[in-house]
Chains A and B, each alone.
Chain A
Amino acid sequence: MSIIIDRVKCFGCVGLMGEARCTKACPGDLILLNEEIRAELREPRDCWDCMACVKACPATAIECRLAYVVADYRAALAPKVRDNQIEWTVTDQAGNKETFILDTQNP
C-alpha cells in the first residue's frame, strides 16, 4: 500500500494523450480506468510507492499512503509539479508542514 484515489477529483484525463496520466505513468500497469472513466487501482498490495502516478495526476486526486504495517496513520506527502520544478509538502502527524521546491530539469 499504496495510493488512494479521490473519485470526486479524478476526471478521467484521457484527453489528447489517449490514455490517463496515471495509467501511463505506473511502472507496474496497476491502474486502470473503470466503467465510469475514473482511475482505479488494480491491486493495492502490488504498488511500489514510487509516486509516479501521484506526480502525474493533473487533478491532485492521488495520495500516497504507506502500509499501516510500517507507518502510523495520518501523515501526508503531496507534490505539485510545475515546469522544471516540483514542490513537495510533507505534513507530519501533528499537522506540521514542511515545503521543498526542487529543480527537476534544466530549462
Chain B
Amino acid sequence: MIEALNGQTENLTADVLIIGGGTAGCMAAVEIKENNPELDVLIVEKADIERSGCLAAGMNAINLYLHPGETPDSFVKFARREAVGVLREDLVHSLAKEVNNVVHRVEGWGLPILKDEDGTPAKRGRWNLKIMGERLKPIIAEAAETSGARILNRVNVISLLKEGGRVVGASGLGVRDGKFYSITAKATIVTTGGASGIYRPNNPGSAHHKIWYSPFNTGAGYAMGLRAGAEMTSFEMRFVALRTKDSIAPTGTLALGYNAPQVNAKGERYMQKRFSGVGGEGAPTCYRVYGPIREIQEGRGPCYMDTTHLDDKQVKNLKTDYLNMYPDLVLYWAANHIDPATEPIELGATEPYIVGGHCQSGYWIDVGRRTTTPGLYAAGDVAGGAPYKFVSGCWAEAVIAARSAVEDIEGQPMPQVSEHYTTGLRESAIRPFCHWEMRGDGILPAEMEERLQKVMDEYAGGASVFYELNDERLDRCLEQLDRLKEQQEFLAARDPHELMLAHEVIDRILVAEAVTRHLLHRKETRWPGFQTRLDYPKRDDTNWLKFVNSRLDPTTEIFEMVERPMVDLETLEGAPVSMGWPG
C-alpha cells in the first residue's frame, strides 16, 4: 500500500480526455469515435462505468423529449417559465435540437421505450416518455466500450493540468492503489455531475446516504474548474427536490404518471388554493416544493401525494415504475405496510443539491460547450445555464461538446507538462495519506464532511431552517468555511479509499463556499424554496433578471463575483455570449 502511494507516476496521453464516465461522459466518447475513429479517447472514471454516476439504479422515464407538435422553441418557452425567467436560451435551444436524435440512438443500443399502438413513444406528461430503464447505464457503458474509447476505471481525477492558460489534461489517484496518474490531452471534457453532500442529509447516521442525488457525485468537476480559474454560474439556484418522505424517490412518477395531486393534512389541495397565481399544480418546480414546505411551517402538515384513486392494477404499474428506478421504495412500502391505493404517499423536501440538469449550476459555457478556460469543455450536470435538460439533455450536451472538441483539436500538437509540475501535484494529492503515516492522527474525511454539512444546514439555508436565508447568517457561514479550509492541512486518510474521500470533502468545501457567495450576492427571492431570502423576500425583475457568476482569481485564489445579462434568443441574434472576465 505505502509502496503504491510512494510509487512512480503513470503518464498517459489522449487526444480527448473525458473526466467522469457517467451518462454524459459515455455519450461524449461515442460521439467522438463516430466522428473520427482515429482519435484516441480516454474516459477516466472513479468507479466503474458499468453503473457509475446518477443512473446506478436505473430510470423509468426520459424527461426531455419533443413529442409531435413540440419544437426547440416551445421547449425554450417552457424552460423559461420553469426557471422563473433566468436561463441561457441559446444553450437550451441548442440541446433541444439534438434531444430526439440522442434518445433514439440509445433506443438503438437496446433501451426499451414504451410505445403507443401507432408506434410513437408513449407520453408521460408533455416532455416525458416512459422507458424500461433498469439497464440504462449498462447499455450506455457498453456503447462507450464498443466505440473503441479507452476506459480507465477506479481513478479519481483531482486536478486539471494547466499550461500557458490552457487546460491540457488532468491528474488523479487510483482509488484502490493510490497510484498517481498524469494525463495530457489536446482537449478535456468534464462530465463529473453535480454535488450532493454539501448540506446535512435529512436522514441521519446509518441512512445518511439515503438521498436522492448520487452521494458519489461530490462536486469534483466544479471544484477542479474553480481551481483552474473557470467561470461558474447560478450556484445560488439550489435544487431542493420534492420527494417521497424518507425513501427520497422522485414524485414526478406519481404526479405525471398517475395524476396524484398534492394535499395537506386537512385534505386541502394547497397548490390550487394558495398557488393558483403561479400555476397551481402546474407551477414552476421551485413552487411545487415551496408549497409543502410552507404548509408544514404553517401547521398544515404532513403533506401527501394523493394516490387513493388508484386501483390494484395501477398500483402494480406504479410499483413497476419504481422498480425500474428506485427499487428500494417498493421495499420501503413493504416494510412499512404502505399501500398507495388505501393511503396517500407522504412527501418530503430533500436537502439541497447543486446540479446543472434540474437547475442550472455549473460552468459558464458557450453554445459549443466550451468553458471560459481554453481546452476545457463541459456537459451534463456539471454544465450551467441550461436547466431542465435531465438525462437526455445531458446526452445532447455531451454530443455538442464532443463535436466542438473534435473540431478544435484538428492540427493541434500534443501538449507537454513538466515533471516538476506533476510532482508537485502528486505531493499535494497524497498529503492526507502522508499526514496519517507521520502522525497516526488528524481529522478524518467523514468528520470534516459532517461539520461542513452542519455549517451549511444551519447558516446557508438547509432543511432544518426551512431553506431560508439572510445576509448575516450567510456571512457567518463564510467565517465557518474559512476555518474548515484552514483545518484541511490536518485531514488524514488511512488508505487509498479514504484518500478519495478526503479529496471529496476538500471539493465539497470549495463548492459550499461558491454556493454561499452566490446566495449572498442575489438580493431578491427568485426561486422560493430553492433560494428563499428572508431579508429580500420579493422577486425583483428590474434589478435581478440576470445571472450571478463567479470565479477564483488565478493569482489571489479569492472569489470574484460578476453579473451577466440574460441571454434570450431574440436579443442574441448570433452574437456570442461574453466569455471573457470583465476588466
Contacts and interface: CB of A to CB of B under 8 A. Distances in A.
Interface of A: 1-2, 24-29, 42, 44-52, 55, 64, 66-77, 79, 86, 88, 90-93, 98, 100, 102-106
Contact of B332 (A2, A55, A71, A86): A71
Given A27-B56, A88-B323, 13 more contacts: A24-B48, A25-B51, A27-B53, A27-B216, A29-B47, A29-B497, A29-B500, A66-B328, A75-B331, A76-B331, A93-B334, A98-B319, A105-B111
A13 B175 CA distance: 21
A102 B247 CA distance: 22
A1 B510 CA distance: 28
B134 A75 contact: no
Interface stretch (B92-100, B198-206, B406-414): B198-206
Interface in B98-114: 107, 110-112
A70 B135 contact: no
B48 to A, nearest CB: 5
A102 B323 contact: yes
The residue in B56, B214, B497 that gathers the most chain A C-beta atoms within 10 A of its C-beta is B56
The residue in B110, B112, B207, B497 that gathers the most chain A C-beta atoms within 10 A of its C-beta is B207
A60 to B, nearest CB: 15
B12 to A, nearest CB: 20
Interface in B520-573: none
Given A27-B56, A86-B134, A102-B132, A91 B334 contact: yes
B449 to A, nearest CB: 11
Going nearest first, the 3 A-B pairs with the smallest beta carbon separation are A75-B335, A67-B207, A50-B56
B50 interface: yes
B247 A70 contact: yes
The residue in A51, A68, A76, A91 that gathers the most chain B C-beta atoms within 10 A of its C-beta is A51
Contacts of B154: 29
Contact of A45 (B48, B208, B211): B208
Contact of B206 (A69, A74, A93, A102): A69
A67 B210 contact: yes
A86 B176 CA distance: 31
B297 interface: no
A72 B247 CA distance: 13
Interface string B484-501: 000000000000010010
Contact of B330 (A1, A50, A52, A90): A90
Contacts of A73: 335
A51 B57 contact: yes
A25 B48 contact: yes
Interface residues on B, range: 35 or more
Interface string B166-202: 0000000001100000000000000000000000000
**A interface majority secondary structure:** loop
A72 B215 CA distance: 24
Nearest to A44: B206
Contacts of B295: none
A48 B139 CA distance: 21
Interface of B: 46-48, 50-53, 56-57, 107, 110-112, 132, 134-135, 139, 154, 175-176, 203-211, 214-216, 246-247, 316, 319-320, 323-324, 327-328, 330-332, 334-337, 497, 500
A78 B369 CA distance: 42
A51 to B, nearest CB: 5
B51 A47 contact: no
Contacts of B56: 27, 48, 50, 52
Given A69-B207, A70-B207, A48 B215 contact: yes
A67 to B, nearest CB: 4
Given A27-B47, A51-B57, A75-B335, A105 B139 contact: yes
Given A25-B51, A49-B328, A67 B112 contact: no
A25 B332 CA distance: 23
The residue in B203, B330, B335, B497 that gathers the most chain A C-beta atoms within 10 A of its C-beta is B335
The residue in A46, A55, A77, A93 that gathers the most chain B C-beta atoms within 10 A of its C-beta is A77
Given A42-B497, A88-B323, A48 B216 contact: yes
Contacts of A102: 132, 134, 320, 323-324
Contact of A70 (B53, B216, B246): B246
Contacts of A44: 206
A51 B330 CA distance: 12
A104 B132 contact: yes
Nearest to A92: B334
A67 B320 CA distance: 23
A67 B208 CA distance: 10
Contacts of A71: 331-332, 335-336
Contact of B50 (A25, A66, A103, A105): A25
B96 to A, nearest CB: 26
A51 B327 contact: yes
Contact of B209 (A47, A75, A76, A91): A47
A50 B247 contact: no
B111 A29 contact: no
